[in-house]
Structure 1
Amino acid sequence: MWQIKPADERIEVEVDGHRVVAYSYGAGEETVFLLNGGPGLPCDYLRDAHSFLAGHGYRVVAFDQLGCGASDRPDDPALWSIARYVEETEAVRRALGLGRVHLLGHSWGGWLAIDYALAYPGALKTLILEDTAADLPHLMAEMHRLRASLGPETVEMLLAHEADGSYGHPEYQAAITLLNYRHVCRLQDWPAPLLASLEDWNMAPYMAMQGPNEFLYIGNLKDWNRVPDLHRIEVPVLITVGRHDEITPACALRMKQHLPQAELTVFQNSSHMPFYEEPADYDAVLLAFLGKHRGAA
């Protein structure tokens, strides 16, 4: 169950001349290393949903990726690339002496986790891919399917605003808000940690890498596809997804079909945030998977 509590440790790590801030809970020998969504989103929402693992004997580590939260926020568009974030993740893991970890990536953090797993396979015990995808062109096709549910007139309106770049227009924003409540978080009142992250969102890396909102991918990751490489990830993998997720069950299944050791759980009453929407069921699935692979060689 999610909780808001101060980290046991707050650690500053220098990465290529920039300050990155990490947060650590618990002191177990097994570490769950969190990579949150965004890009440009502080890690509050993910660490507060997973710090409970410290009470089950795990060390939990999260960090504000460069450009967000308490970390430095340089104004250099060249920094906003997945390759640089992979190296940042490795720098944090090494600086904190984490050894081999259970790497958990949510949303954009899942794309980052996949690239990290391919670059540093020896750093992982397991990989946990939550509400994420390995093929962004396929994801964009799924997004268009979700957008189509708004009806042809609304889709026409969305496309017109996207053509002239008027993403802030009230009618465009109204349609995106409806999609968010259907496919990002279906709770009537969004949890405080999620709101805290959203209110401190740095849109510069998000716009550069993804796009103006959750349902339009036009950034430098729009053609990213690691499906052909997934067979190289040999550690056990847990994939989780909400039935109503913006990154749909079809995206989750596509990953499972190409990973050697993967299991998939679909949360029937969730969208993109099962750890808030169905916390008891989510926690049970995560603890069972971690327990099964605790002490993995």
Structure 2
Amino acid sequence: MKKDTEGYIPVTGGNVYYRMTGNGLGIPLLVLHGGPGGMSRESDPLRMLGDDRPVIYYDQLGCGNSDRPDDLSLWTVERYVEELEQVRQALGLEEVHILGHSWGTMLAAAYLLKQPSGVKSVIFSSSCLNARMWERDQRNYLKELPQETQEIIELSEQQNTTDSDAYQDAMIQFYERHVCRTLPWPQELLDNMKKTNHTIYGYMWGASEFTVTGTLQDFDVTNRLNEIKIPSLFTCGRFDEATPKTTEYYASLVSESELYVFENSSHMPGVEEPQAYADKIRDFVNRQY
């Protein structure tokens, strides 16, 4: 596999960092990271697919190694959709497979509903396609935590003290059940979480995973998923924030869809079951074009 290609692409509002792995002859796979406000992972197991096809990551504007402008007007689904198209154009991705993870599935769905040309398949990895359903599912998980932990989370959010040590400790209990069950967490994951752009996360999402108060609070594309007519794979972990039940519901709304659950994972099967995750995505895209 040849050395990665890295660079920057001018988009509306600034420049975004991208990295391309591999020189396989297949149609490239473009990865949309989670968040909002997250970043791509240097050790993402999908890089193993580079022998089959180029695998391309980019840090969305305001995230990771990309520019971080201080302009709230930039943090809209519409601008991120525009940015995705600008990345495709800059890299000459006339044909492409798209994989979105978490918030990246919201972005992928919004993009696909514009009926762009050349997208051969889509992978919705740990999807959130209805913000209120996501909030409901996390609230149900919250009820499974110790009563004391529930009270700390509720009180901290009511009193706007979510930067307290008690709240952070309570959230770790949730994260270790439903975000990443591989303990201790890999250092790269810890480092990346520290780099999260909390301004974007708070503005677009809200206080926490189970309190949606941002601009995405009414995001819901479930009534339009039937407009997606390309091969689609929906994946999640057995203990995922994106619950198997909700993920199965989303998949039922897309005509050419498949569903797969990683039995030993929560929200990050790429960390928790890296080989199985890479193998499943490889199998799916290799069966397309």
5+ residue gaps, structure 2, are: none
Corresponding position: 1:180 with 2:161: no
Distance in structure 2 (CA, Å) of the matches to 1:122 and 1:279: 31
Q: Distance in 2 between matches of 1:283 and 1:15?
A: 30
1:43 alignment partner in structure 2: 40
- CA distance in 2: counterparts of 1:224 and 1:279, whole angstroms: 30
Aligned residue number for residue 154 of structure 1: 149
Q: TM-score, normalised by structure 2?
A: 0.94
| Aligned pairs, number | 288
Question: CA shift at 1:161, angstroms?
Answer: 1.6
Question: Partner residue of 1:132?
Answer: 127
Change beyond 3 A, Cα 1:284–1:126:
same
Other structure's SS at 1:127 match: strand
Structure 1: 4+ residue segments shifted above 4 A: none
User: Is the alpha carbon distance of 1:14 and 1:122 closer, same or farther for their aligned partners in structure 2, counting shifts above 3 Å?
Assistant: same
Out of 56, 64, 79, the residue aligned to residue 59 of structure 2 is: 64
Return the letter of the residue paired with 1:44.
Answer: R
Alpha-carbon distance in 2 for matches of 1:6, 1:220: 41
Determine helix, strand or coil for the equivalent of 1:193: helix
Are the aligned partners of 1:44 and 1:196 in contact in 2 as well (CA < 8 Å)? no
Q: Counterpart in 2 of 1:22?
A: 18
**Mean CA deviation greater in 251-260 or 87-96:** 251-260
Letter in 1 for 2:34: G
Equivalent residue for 1:76, pick from 71, 74, 82 = 71
Kept in 2, the 8 Å contact 1:131–1:242? The answer is yes
Moved more, 96-105 or 215-224: 215-224
The yes-or-no answer on 1:228 pairing with 2:197 is no
- Shift in alpha-carbon separation, 1:198–1:291, aligned structure 2, 3 A: same
Supply the AA of the counterpart residue of 1:193: E
Percent identity, aligned pairs only, is 37
1:267 to 262, 265, 272: 262
SS of the aligned residue for 2:265 comes to coil
> What whole-Å deviation, never above 9, does each CA across 1:172-196 have from its counterpart, x for those lacking one?
2211110001000001122343233
Question: What is the distance in 2 between the residues matched to 1:163 and 1:262?
Answer: 40
The CA distance in 1 between the partners of 2:196 and 2:128, in whole Å, is: 22
Matched, 1:208 2:203: yes
2:185 is matched with 190
Match of 2:213 among 218, 236, 240: 218
**Separation in 1, partners of 2:194, 2:158:** 27
Cα RMSD (Å) of the superposition? 1.8
